[in-house]
């Protein structure tokens, strides 16, 4: 059989910008396999492994898990799924993540969807989410915002310089945001 080229789209945006919400819709409409890196890390916590307890401490502080751990778990998840289109939600978060992913997988994203949302709106969403996430309290949420601004914004600039950023205004309703996203994914089709 002919070897299929795997296509990857990264989805980044601040905490509560709507990554998970929009990725579900994109996956459904455009046939991508949705992988949330936060979910993959939370599964590792649930497994009760030593790595899991290390991850739990870091997440509770709103900090970033070391790249080698994150990328290894992400690559394992990708290898376990027979798909040629992956939507990677919540990754990469810093420049070290980018480098580790490129080094280990030798792959680059087709483009990077950036959900740009005002911070007060993100905070409001997270505080009313009620999914029992250990990092959804005001104190940790503020730390997550800080990490986003200090570490993740520079990676957005990096992809911007490569012409790979597709930015949408994520402060609108779920339907309105998805309308803008649909335009981008329809253009991406070959
Ligand atoms: N909602 C969504 N869209 C809305 C809209 N347009 N209007 C009104 N409400 C909207 O949405 C959040 C809430 O808002 C929901 O209740 C939703 O209904 C509503 P959601 O789609 O869940 O937003 P999302 O961007 O996915 O928010 P999330 O909290 O998941 O983002 P984070 O980036 O904070 O969380 P993630 O799970 O990706 O990462 C968690 C932690 O894992 C990180 O802090 C870090 O410690 C660690 N991590 C790493 O270390 N490395 C990684 O590579 C990834 C994660
Ligand atoms: Mg999410």
Query: What local confidence, expressed as pLDDT, does residue 5 receive?
Result: 87
74-120: per-residue pLDDT in tens? 999 999 999 999 999 999 999 999 999 999 999 999 999 999 999 99
Residue 159's pLDDT is: 98
- What's the rounded Cα separation, in Å, for the pair 67 and 178? 30
pLDDT of residue 3 exceeding 80: no
pLDDT at 188 over 70: no
Q: How confident is the model at residue 158 (pLDDT cuts 50, 70, 90)?
A: very high
| Residue 92, preceding peptide bond in cis (omega within 30° of 0) | yes
Could you give the CA distance from residue 32 to residue 78 in angstroms, rounded to a whole number? 12
Probe ligand 1: pick from 125, 149, 176, max atoms within 8 Å of CB?
125
Q: What is the pLDDT of residue 50?
A: 98
Cα–Cα dist 117/115, whole Å: 6
User: Which residues are found with C-beta within 5 Å of the ion, ligand 2?
Assistant: 19-20
Q: Is residue 20 over pLDDT 70?
A: yes
Q: How would CATH label the architecture of 7-179?
A: 3-Layer(aba) Sandwich (3.40)
Domain boundaries in the chain? 7-179
- Determine if ligand 1 sits within 6 Å of the CB of residue 109: no
ipTM for the complex shown? 0.99
> Residue 130: pLDDT band by 50, 70, 90 thresholds?
confident
Query: Per residue in 49-68, pLDDT tens?
Result: 999 999 999 999 999 999 99
Write down the pLDDT at residue 1: 57
CA of 89 to the centre of ligand 1 (A): 9
């Amino acid at each position: 059989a002919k070897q299929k080229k795997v296509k990857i789209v990264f989805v980044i945006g601040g905490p509560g910008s709507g990554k998970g919400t929009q990725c579900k819709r994109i996956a459904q409409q455009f046939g991508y396999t949705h992988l949330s890196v936060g979910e993959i890390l939370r599964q590792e916590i649930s497994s009760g492994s030593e790595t899991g307890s290390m991850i739990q401490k870091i997440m509770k502080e709103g900090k970033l898990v070391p790249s080698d751990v994150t990328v290894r778990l992400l690559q394992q998840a990708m290898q376990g799924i027979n798909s040629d289109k992956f939507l990677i939600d919540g990754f990469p978060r810093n420049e070290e993540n980018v480098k580790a992913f490129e080094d280990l997988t030798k792959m680059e994203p087709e483009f990077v969807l950036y959900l740009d949302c005002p911070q007060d709106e993100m905070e409001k969403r997270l505080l009313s989410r009620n999914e029992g996430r250990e990092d959804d309290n005001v104190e940790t949420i503020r730390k997550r915002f800080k990490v986003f601004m200090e570490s993740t914004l520079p990676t957005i600039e990096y992809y911007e310089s490569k012409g790979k950023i597709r930015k949408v205004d994520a402060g609108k309703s779920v339907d309105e945001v998805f309308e803008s996203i649909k335009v981008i994914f329809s253009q991406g089709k070959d």
